[in-house]
Amino acid sequence: MADFPTSARVVIIGGGVVGVSTLYHLAKMGWNDCVLLEKNELTAGSTWHAAGNCPSFSTSWAVMNMQRYSLGLYKGLAEEVDYPMNYHVTGSIRLAHSRERMQEFARAMGMANSQGLNLRLMTPDEAQQMHPFLETHDLEGALYDPDDGDIDPAQLTQALAKGARQMGARLERFCSATGVTQHPNGTWTVHTEKGDIDCEKVVNAAGYYAQRVGEWFKPYGGRTVPQITMSHQFFLTEEIPELQAWTEANGHKVPLLRDVDVSYYLRQDKNGLNLGPYEPNCKAHWVTPDDPQPDDFSFQLYPDDLERLEAIIEDAMARVPILGTAGVGRVINGPIPYAPDGLPLLGPMPGVKNAFEACVFTFGITQGGGAGKVAAEWVVNGQTEWDMWAVDPRRYTDYTDHDHCYQKAMETYGHEYGMHFPRKMWPAGRDKKLSPVHDKIIAGGGQMGAYNGWERANWFAKDGDDTSIKATETWDRNGPWAIRVREECEAVRDGVGVLDLPGFSRFNLSGEGAADYLAGLITGALPKVGRMNLAYFADDRGRLLTEMSVMRHDADYFTLITAAAAQWHDYDVLARDLPKALNLTDHTTEYSTLIVTGPKARDLFTAIGTEADLSLGWLTHQPAKVAGIDCALARVSFAGELGWEIHAANAHIPALYDAVRAAGATPFGMFALNALRIEKGYRAWKGDLSTDYSLLESGLERFVKFDKPQDFAGKAALMSEQQQGRKKGFAIMTLDNPGPQDAPYMSPVWHDGQHVGETTSGDWGYRVDKSIALGMLRDDLTAPGSKVEIEIYGERYAATVQGDQPLWDPDNARLRA
């Protein structure tokens, strides 16, 4: 035991592919004084029984970045570390049975090719030429990925481990971690069966045991890790002579197939086939008291349960008839962890200083290389090259109880290849956080969506409207909601609307020195007492970390309001270096908000008896009584019209809502609000505003005060960028002859045959009657009048750049009325 390490910079708990990749990348970044702990042999968890498929395909920009990096790493890893690996790049074919699926493929192809990949759409005949055993008579088309294939998970992990060791990192196998202790200075002691290890930072990479490991961090601010363990089966056939003969004649394997509309993959494994379904009638394990998670499940499997796969197996045999000619050689039924949305937890551990998560990977093999890179960047730099909000553990907050996680895991696994249409709201795990007027919203026809667990109306249906989930399964802008959204936008334009908006994240910051502290965090200026403004937070590179509305009540007393989804993320931003003399508190669940907006808003407030100065200008706030009820009024409107936000305790919201509705306000929903804000060019967090772009690229230079006395993160980087000139710039674009869809996130933008940018959001603007896209363009193309093409679901549409100015009420005369 004399050789056992007693100290390290970082301790990683878990020896699967993600944990080992994290160790490897930490060592590559110069942090080689790191230790990985594995209670059994490396790969003993989900890694050892993984199928090892390596797609680059994703409909998430962040996940695609991660997978793209992985595949590039794997191509040269064997040579780099001198460790042999079975890595077969066979290419893959995704089959489409419908126009909608081909549109999804076209969107993913555009994203992928923007990242330097080379995906392409295929006809059924072209797919059959590549895979001669494939039946194609009922297909709409296919998507081909030349970089897809499969890798041996154990060999991959061992290669990463060898590379880590070569750079000086330590791996302790057969060494169970048993707990952690955090010290007052934020450092850790990790307890193991062989002794204690003191370290600066800890990474939970424990796979399907991540929730159990996560319990150790609860005394230091942690929470229950949101995950469920699913049973995932695949089987290998015996050898198939026809397949063997074709392979020998052609010198390579057939491409991997994914029939995503039926929900399975089928790939060649030696001279047989490997069928892996994601069945709708799926099964979770270790979720009830009579099925407890064992202390050790290393290198173990669940009993075979092929009956629940019968329908998919029959379909696969019809699609590739040679599958039915061979017997089943081996069945693999192993545990696979699922977060509620099926994406991993990768980033800072919520509420816990100097702790990180790299766990709950459903597709850990193809994501493992990129995951290790991202995890190491978080640990070493406190920020990542790409914006990784899609997998950030802080995207979940306190609504992810066991019931939610179970319902969503079953839904997500059972629809692993499901299309995520822009207007579709998945039904499982809902109603976790309700507005004080939820029942009134439902009674009024509210069609709900979940925002950080909070139920909000997306649109309001009327009698006879189709409110089925089936009706939302389209990429097109028009559906049963379209006429209602137009009516809601017109009501806000011509009269007055009310939006019930529960779940705004809100924090109070107070104490002597609060103003100086906050001024040192933001890039711009603080508002005066009684006023409010937008404040932006940058990272060290000058990239946009977050946006908050700041209300100033007194010299050192502020309320900060931010997006619902940003609750835990933004609290972290404010609390990270909080001086002990200051007080930061979260009041998100105690208050709610009503947005009352439109040219007749002032008349409405006057009519219902408002004790407040309604002549106060834009960006002011004041305590008030509305209809005799205590509240606060903020003169601001994300819809871009005259309006106020009513902020009040939850108990007061029903009476306030009733008073506003009785005075004639039309209820509107989130779909209308999105259309209204896009016409004003207002940016949305983690769409238009992300760490993929700097503040200057995002067109926010008016919120950067280089001459203020306080320093702020990213100041040097932004000054350098200001001197050298930005490469990209924010722009508003309108489609000259729009098609049936609006631009989704990360649609490629073209000019003279060159890729020159991407959209960050898009919608129809009902006040200006145009399809609008916000996005980032090559800087020389941001001037008004520039001509570009926007690729939307595979079709290119001519568009005109409008510059960075509102399309509706460009002088803000209505807003300031």
**In this predicted model, what pLDDT tens digit does every residue of 378-418 receive, in sequence order?**
999 999 999 999 999 999 999 999 999 999 999 999 999 99
**At 457, phi and psi to the nearest 5?**
-75, 130
Alpha helices, H only, 31-98: 46-49, 61-81
Its pTM stands at 0.97
Asked if 548 and 559 count as a contact pair (C-beta separation under 8 A), the reply is no
Sheet holding 610-611, edge to edge: 610-611, 621-626, 629-634, 643-649, 591-597, 497-501, 666-667
**In this predicted model, what pLDDT tens digit does every residue of 38-76 receive, in sequence order?**
999 999 999 999 999 999 999 999 999 999 999 999 999
Q: Pairing state of beta strands 120-122 and 150-151? A: unpaired
What pLDDT was estimated at residue 2? 56
- DSSP-derived 3-state class of residue 734: strand
CB atoms inside a 10 Å sphere around CB 176: 16
218-222 mean pLDDT: 98
Q: Is residue 380 within a helix (H) or strand (E), and if so which, with residue range? A: helix 364-381
Average per-residue pLDDT in the chain?
A: 97
Nearest one of 193, 210, 192, 227 to 14, comparing CA atoms: 210
* Whole-number Å distance between alpha carbons of 759 and 749: 7
The tokens of 287 are what? 């979720």
Residues in a beta bridge with 633: 622, 646
With 60 as the cut, is the pLDDT of residue 1 above it?
no
The tokens of 612 are what? 């407040």
**In this predicted model, what pLDDT tens digit does every residue of 70-126 receive, in sequence order?**
999 999 999 999 999 999 999 999 999 999 999 999 999 999 999 999 999 999 999
What pLDDT was estimated at residue 803? 86
The CA–CA distances, whole Å, from 718 to 48, 574, 722, 724, 775 equal: 46, 21, 6, 10, 20
**In this predicted model, what pLDDT tens digit does every residue of 689-731 receive, in sequence order?**
999 999 999 999 999 999 999 999 999 999 999 999 999 999 9
Find where tokens 């750079």 sit: 167
* Whole-number Å distance between alpha carbons of 101 and 38: 41
pLDDT cut 90: percent of the chain above it: 100
How remote is the C-alpha of 48 from its chain's centroid? 27
**At 585, phi and psi to the nearest 5?**
-130, 150
What pLDDT was estimated at residue 118? 96
602-610 mean pLDDT: 97
- DSSP-derived 3-state class of residue 220: helix
Find where tokens 């129809």 sit: 764
Asked if 523 and 703 count as a contact pair (C-beta separation under 8 A), the reply is yes
Q: Is residue 517 within a helix (H) or strand (E), and if so which, with residue range? A: helix 514-521
**In this predicted model, what pLDDT tens digit does every residue of 138-188 receive, in sequence order?**
999 999 999 999 999 999 999 999 999 999 999 999 999 999 999 999 999
How remote is the C-alpha of 576 from its chain's centroid? 22
* Whole-number Å distance between alpha carbons of 221 and 212: 15
**The residue type at 419:** M
How remote is the C-alpha of 319 from its chain's centroid? 34
**In this predicted model, what pLDDT tens digit does every residue of 376-388 receive, in sequence order?**
999 999 999 999 9
- DSSP-derived 3-state class of residue 345: strand
- DSSP-derived 3-state class of residue 115: coil
State whether the Cα torsion 224-18-690-710 is positive or negative: positive
With 90 as the cut, is the pLDDT of residue 798 above it?
yes
pLDDT cut 70: percent of the chain above it: 100
Q: Pairing state of beta strands 7-13 and 195-204? A: parallel
DSSP E strands: which ranges in 293-444? 328-338, 345-348, 355-359
416-423 mean pLDDT: 97
SS3 content of the chain, % helix, strand, coil (to 5): 30, 30, 40
What pLDDT was estimated at residue 361? 97
Alpha helices, H only, 168-235: 210-214
**In this predicted model, what pLDDT tens digit does every residue of 313-345 receive, in sequence order?**
999 999 999 999 999 999 999 999 999 999 999
The tokens of 677 are what? 């804000």
**At 312, phi and psi to the nearest 5?**
-70, -40
* CB contact burial 472-493 (16+ within 10 A = b; e otherwise): bebbbbebbbbebbbbbbbbbb
* Whole-number Å distance between alpha carbons of 585 and 575: 10
